[in-house]
Chains A and B, each alone.
Chain A
């Protein structure tokens, strides 16, 4: 008779050795670095062109994101529709995303279609015209999107907490208002495009099943472009955090939930303390079995979900606790968050719970490294932060070896309620 109350033997995930598959690294003729992970089971590719063109470099709000958005909305030879139709016809996805330091153009397509699409990508980098009529449509539609978002407590809370942490003039804390869209003009975008794309700094990250002539293809289409000529000017932005720690905002008098954000600054991802904080974060609020989730969702039922995060910025980082809770239990939720901080400051985590967190972290890391897109994603994160494989190995070692005492010390250092911003938006 099967004894179902007895768990099968497990191999502790901490016993796994984890390595990060190395990418092929090469340079194009003009000096662009390419990192490529050749792997996978499906005949698909992903290529990302990462430009130093995020909002860190803009002198006026929204110029970086508007330029990034409009980059594929017309060239001297093709209209926005012709570009979209061309990309769609080959079953490809040409997307763009603007972040703080970087702005990215990414391509996903079947391996067999790659050669068709690359000339178009080149055209977008050299010959985009950011048309006036497309800019007008963009402004109008983004303003409408903003108007809808301003009704949502989680949206208001998300941007407000960043502004509290970094100041609303810092690239990490800045947020857009209607007038900022109105103030955009085409010439500024063209200037930004010219400086930060056409004559900008680019790095390529790719993965999947790339054709055998891949390096040659990249050189043909991107190796002679005027990228990476000069040094990108270093810019520093002062962090001006709010002096007021506690905020309550009433955005919707009829709201039935409140968005809660609790946050404070913490060391950078490059800091040796950061990987240890990552373990503490998981224990505290980083997964379904965390202290916050177990108490506030699974015991009290105050929320559908509550998580804590470490921000992954390059120049400044923070610990952030985030949830939406019933309006009448927002105060109780905040109290419980602080209670869980206190528990971590006062008591060492038990042996079993620590092993569980370690096994969970290693197990999910194994899963996260599954597949070429995930592997190149890890490398991209390391490289953009100026880190290398040794940082990854140190992270894995930290998970495996960190002790309860160290976590308690970290909690004493970083989980003091007085040092957190506390924000509730209804």
Chain B
């Protein structure tokens, strides 16, 4: 049970405070309700590039990192298709330094030309390092385009192509900032050795005067229900064939999310999961196989990916996956097996909550979902899942007409 206080400033900034006196540290986490799904199709990769620019100096402070490091702090940030999250940790006595830094860059960035020029290059190198210069690195670029025809999940957070990043202009940066980086679009979570009253004073002092901005109302075209099976085959310079299959699944807000999440664990969560045991250990068709999803806020992708044992035919490997899927479609899962994945979920949650940093991040995330306290109700929703739910999800989601398959062949 994670206890917290919550208040909202006049400009719309939501603030959550979680006290833990066992640590000398404080964490300040700011989540902005903007991700790659909010980008223009001709300017993809922008939310993430922008995250880099948030460290290039703000209107009154030349550099973000130096003063934080001087105060004994460290920080990082990440961007997903749904959101952008910034977090820092520092000795609790120096909490105000974090408020000073974070509020100034919410007030306005410096919009430095030099910072944009350099970070464009840095992000291009990041793109190359993770998606071009790695075997199988381009698969999600293709899979997203195959699975999504309308929804902006069709591009990756890093961007659709290098040229979108290379041509980003300072004007684009300004527009993006004033549209999305406002108090009304942000959630501030403060955790650690902190007092709510003190946090309230600091929040009023540093964030209170920032104009609320216009609340951004998202109107993203949702992906129509897929009606036909989609397939593609590519040949690449990789040593082993691999198969990637996805199916559209529920959004993060639907009740079925929990059963779907557990179903991925049944099939591919760890050494006793079905796909691993049947296809890696018993039939030895795959060298590795995984089943997972991304926890996307809008309707996401239920994913199975596997690397074939050298010499195995792709058709045979795919049929073997299908054989396992038929079992979960046609037969009720054993109660003990369901209990197993619930127990694992309980354990994962407890380990995640160990760090103050994670607790702050989770509070902000659940507040984005609608209420920070969902963090405490989450496990109950997993406990309510039944074996019948799993079978229903297996039939609803894992349908051929809902599926996208890539045969990624070694040439």
**What is the interface of chain A, defined by CB distance below 8 A to chain B?**
2, 4-5, 7-13, 16, 40-44, 80-81, 84-85, 87-93, 108-110, 113, 137, 140-141, 144-145, 147-148, 150-153, 252, 254-257, 287-289, 297-304, 324-326, 355-357, 359-360, 362-364, 366-367, 370-371, 373
Contact between A148 and B351 (Cβ–Cβ < 8 Å)? no
Give Cα distance in the complex from A147 to B94, angstroms.
Answer: 49
Contact between A42 and B350 (Cβ–Cβ < 8 Å)? yes
Contact between A11 and B284 (Cβ–Cβ < 8 Å)? no
Using A7-B97, A144-B239, A302-B125 as known contacts, say yes or no to A363 and B309 having CB atoms under 8 A apart: no
**A282 CB to closest chain B CB, in angstroms?**
10
- Residue B228 CB within 8 A of the other chain: no
> Which residues of the partner chain A approach B149 to less than 8 Å between Cβ atoms?
none
> Which residues of the partner chain A approach B90 to less than 8 Å between Cβ atoms?
363
Using A91-B347, A326-B128 as known contacts, say yes or no to A152 and B134 having CB atoms under 8 A apart: yes
Within 8 A of A (CB), among B276-292: 277, 280-281, 284, 287-288
Q: Interface code B18-39, partner A: CB below 8 Å = 1, 0 otherwise?
A: 0010111100000000000000
Contact between B97 and A8 (Cβ–Cβ < 8 Å)? yes
Contacting residue for A363 out of B74, B118, B123, B284, CB 8 A: B74
**A140 CB to closest chain B CB, in angstroms?**
6
Number of A-B contacts (CB under 8 A): 219
- Residue B225 CB within 8 A of the other chain: no
Contact between A304 and B125 (Cβ–Cβ < 8 Å)? yes
CB-CB nearest in chain B for A44: B350
Contacting residue for B238 out of A88, A113, A151, A364, CB 8 A: A151
Contact between A304 and B122 (Cβ–Cβ < 8 Å)? yes
Give Cα distance in the complex from A367 to B72, angstroms.
Answer: 9
Using A85-B272, A88-B272 as known contacts, say yes or no to A110 and B350 having CB atoms under 8 A apart: yes
**What is the interface of chain B, defined by CB distance below 8 A to chain A?**
20, 22-25, 59-61, 65-67, 69-74, 89-91, 93-94, 96-97, 99-100, 103-104, 107, 117-126, 128-129, 132-136, 205-206, 209, 237-240, 269-272, 277, 280-281, 284, 287-288, 307, 309-310, 336, 339-340, 343-348, 350-351, 353-356
CB-CB nearest in chain B for A372: B354
Contacting residue for A42 out of B73, B128, B129, B354, CB 8 A: B354
> Which residues of the partner chain A approach B61 to less than 8 Å between Cβ atoms?
4-5, 7
Using A287-B69, A287-B74, A367-B89 as known contacts, say yes or no to A92 and B60 having CB atoms under 8 A apart: no
Give Cα distance in the complex from A151 to B93, angstroms.
Answer: 48
Contact between A371 and B355 (Cβ–Cβ < 8 Å)? yes
Using A88-B270, A257-B133 as known contacts, say yes or no to A301 and B336 having CB atoms under 8 A apart: no
Contacting residue for B20 out of A13, A41, A113, CB 8 A: A41
**B268 CB to closest chain A CB, in angstroms?**
12
Lowest 9 A-B CB distances belong to which pairs?
A: A363-B72, A301-B121, A13-B72, A91-B347, A91-B343, A84-B271, A84-B272, A147-B239, A4-B60
Contact between A44 and B71 (Cβ–Cβ < 8 Å)? no
> Which residues of the partner chain A approach B66 to less than 8 Å between Cβ atoms?
289, 356
Would you list 22 pairs from A and B whose C-beta atoms are within 8 A, ordered by A residue? A2-B209, A8-B96, A10-B72, A12-B72, A81-B272, A87-B272, A88-B344, A89-B340, A91-B340, A91-B347, A113-B343, A148-B239, A151-B135, A288-B69, A289-B69, A304-B122, A304-B126, A359-B69, A362-B72, A366-B25, A371-B354, A373-B354
> Which residues of the partner chain A approach B100 to less than 8 Å between Cβ atoms?
4, 7-8
Contact between A367 and B74 (Cβ–Cβ < 8 Å)? yes
Give Cα distance in the complex from A92 to B346, angstroms.
Answer: 10
Give Cα distance in the complex from A8 to B104, angstroms.
Answer: 13
Using A88-B272, A148-B239 as known contacts, say yes or no to A10 and B97 having CB atoms under 8 A apart: yes
**B271 CB to closest chain A CB, in angstroms?**
4
Q: Tell me the interface secondary structure of chain B in the complex.
A: helix
Contact between B343 and A90 (Cβ–Cβ < 8 Å)? yes
Given A88-B270, A257-B125, output 17 extra A-B contacts at Cβ < 8 Å: A4-B59, A5-B61, A7-B61, A10-B97, A11-B93, A42-B350, A44-B347, A44-B351, A81-B272, A88-B269, A108-B347, A298-B118, A300-B118, A356-B66, A356-B70, A367-B25, A371-B355
CB-CB nearest in chain B for A85: B272
CB-CB nearest in chain A for B73: A363
Using A5-B60, A91-B343, A367-B25 as known contacts, say yes or no to A81 and B277 having CB atoms under 8 A apart: yes
Give Cα distance in the complex from A299 to B112, angstroms.
Answer: 13
Give Cα distance in the complex from A153 to B284, angstroms.
Answer: 29
Contact between A10 and B344 (Cβ–Cβ < 8 Å)? no
Contact between B69 and A145 (Cβ–Cβ < 8 Å)? no
Using A88-B271, A256-B132 as known contacts, say yes or no to A110 and B93 having CB atoms under 8 A apart: no
**B314 CB to closest chain A CB, in angstroms?**
15
Give Cα distance in the complex from A182 to B315, angstroms.
Answer: 28
CB-CB nearest in chain B for A370: B23
Contact between A360 and B74 (Cβ–Cβ < 8 Å)? yes
Contact between A13 and B71 (Cβ–Cβ < 8 Å)? yes
Give Cα distance in the complex from A287 to B74, angstroms.
Answer: 9
Contact between A326 and B125 (Cβ–Cβ < 8 Å)? yes
> Which residues of the partner chain B approach A10 to less than 8 Å between Cβ atoms?
70-72, 93-94, 97
> Which residues of the partner chain B approach A303 to less than 8 Å between Cβ atoms?
122, 125
Contacting residue for B71 out of A91, A301, A363, CB 8 A: A363
> Which residues of the partner chain A approach B72 to less than 8 Å between Cβ atoms?
10, 12-13, 16, 359-360, 362-364, 366
Using A2-B209, A42-B350, A81-B272 as known contacts, say yes or no to A141 and B126 having CB atoms under 8 A apart: no
Give Cα distance in the complex from A363 to B240, angstroms.
Answer: 46
Give Cα distance in the complex from A303 to B94, angstroms.
Answer: 32
Contact between B351 and A42 (Cβ–Cβ < 8 Å)? yes
Give Cα distance in the complex from A9 to B94, angstroms.
Answer: 8
**B361 CB to closest chain A CB, in angstroms?**
15
